[in-house]
Amino acid sequence: MDLLRSLPIGLYLEQPVTWLHQIDPRIKLVWLLGFLLSPISAGPIWRLSLVGWLLLLTLATRIPFRVWRQQMGLVIIFSLLLFLVTMLAPDGLNVNHQTRLPDNELAFVETPVETTVQPTDAPVELAVGALPQPTGYRYVLIQQSRITVTRRSLELAVRAGTLMFVLIYSTNLYLLTTAPEEITAGLDNLMQPLRRFNVPVTEIVLTLTLSLRFIPLVLEEIQNLVRSVRTRAINWKKLGFRGASQVWLMISERLLDNLLLRAEQIASAMQVRGFTSPNQHQVRWYQFRLRLLDWAVLLGAGAFWSARIFWGYL
């Protein structure tokens, strides 16, 4: 069991270096915001097209299949399960709501007056189901025994499944092809105008960088504790619920102590190296330079939003 290698979400792919790795992180951040914001108030066709574009982008990037299977296979399976569950669930439109109190409590109940209807010469009685339908529209698409799929449930399934897939998949693809230092450097560059409003941009970016660097340490500590518990071959059935709770409480306390110790070591290392404040100790990890490929991808983002405006509501 190796959490640092088998974690399905958020790992950076160092090798092989694809063309998506070489794009400026600010341009990739613009595309990421486009994928995250464009599904808002969009139609089902546009949402399904986003799923197709993301899959085509992954194939065009030529990411190895082993990485694609580990990091993105679970996202696809989870989105498909969410789609099926939402499609087969009741849509909620057939529920009859009845008020607790009558509309007019003070109205007197009057006996209806009996009226006689004169029979016509040729009475005609037609069932509603026998009437010819003007169009081929059907609200209930599939009805087999207990399985009922309506237009409303299918629309909700498409919205839920595609939204979950686009949110997780696009973010994971961005983290897969962008180093943590490039992410923080791009955010620092884009947030420079906020300095005029006395926003501590450098402190925020430094905190984000340390958080991204601290995640592997957390996984390593969890992995070591899990291995230590497995090597002791604890019989959980004999411990019972109370004994198992005490053991897991001790493990959680040990994990917290180890993480605080790691944080203190990082702080001591920064102080020893003369780090006093982010403004006085600048570290540049990435040189921003827009190339021809970056400008082409940026023009593609403009075309993407133009298509969203004209065809996004289909």
Are 60 and 9 within one domain? yes
Instruction: Please determine, for residue 112, whether its predicted confidence score (pLDDT) is greater than 70.
Output: no
Are 263 and 295 within one domain? no
Are 233 and 294 within one domain? no
Instruction: Please determine, for residue 314, whether its predicted confidence score (pLDDT) is greater than 60.
Output: yes
pLDDT digit string, tens, across residues 52-81: 888 888 888 888 777 777 667 778 888 889
Are 28 and 82 within one domain? yes
Instruction: Answer whether residue 194 is part of any domain.
Output: no
Are 147 and 263 within one domain? no
- Of 57-66, 96-105, 130-139, 184-193, the one with minimum mean pLDDT is 96-105
Instruction: Answer whether residue 192 is part of any domain.
Output: no
Mean pLDDT of 202-220: 78
Instruction: Give the count of domains, the chain.
Output: 2
Instruction: Answer whether residue 134 is part of any domain.
Output: no
Are 146 and 14 within one domain? yes
What percentage of the chain reaches a pLDDT higher than 70? 78
Answer with the residue of higher pLDDT: 67 or 204.
204
The pLDDT, as a whole number, for residue 109 is 52
Torsional sign, CA 39, 28, 75, 80: positive
Which run of H or of E encompasses 143? strand 140-144
Are 161 and 51 within one domain? yes
Are 144 and 23 within one domain? yes
Instruction: Please determine, for residue 174, whether its predicted confidence score (pLDDT) is greater than 80.
Output: yes
The pLDDT, as a whole number, for residue 96 is 59
Instruction: Answer whether residue 188 is part of any domain.
Output: no
Are 161 and 253 within one domain? no
Are 169 and 75 within one domain? yes
The pLDDT, as a whole number, for residue 311 is 83
Structural domain including 223 reads 200-283
pLDDT digit string, tens, across residues 247-296: 888 888 888 888 888 888 888 887 777 776 666 666 565 677 788 888 88
Structure tokens at 258: 């180890």
Are 270 and 299 within one domain? no
- pLDDT-derived band at 101, boundaries 50, 70, 90: low
Structure tokens at 292: 């021809």
Are 72 and 173 within one domain? yes
Instruction: Answer whether residue 247 is part of any domain.
Output: yes
Which run of H or of E encompasses 149? strand 147-150
- Of 2-16, 37-51, 256-270, the one with minimum mean pLDDT is 2-16
The pLDDT, as a whole number, for residue 204 is 81
The pLDDT, as a whole number, for residue 124 is 47
Instruction: Answer whether residue 79 is part of any domain.
Output: yes
The pLDDT, as a whole number, for residue 71 is 65
Mean pLDDT of 191-199: 83
C-beta separation of 74 from 11 below 8 A: no
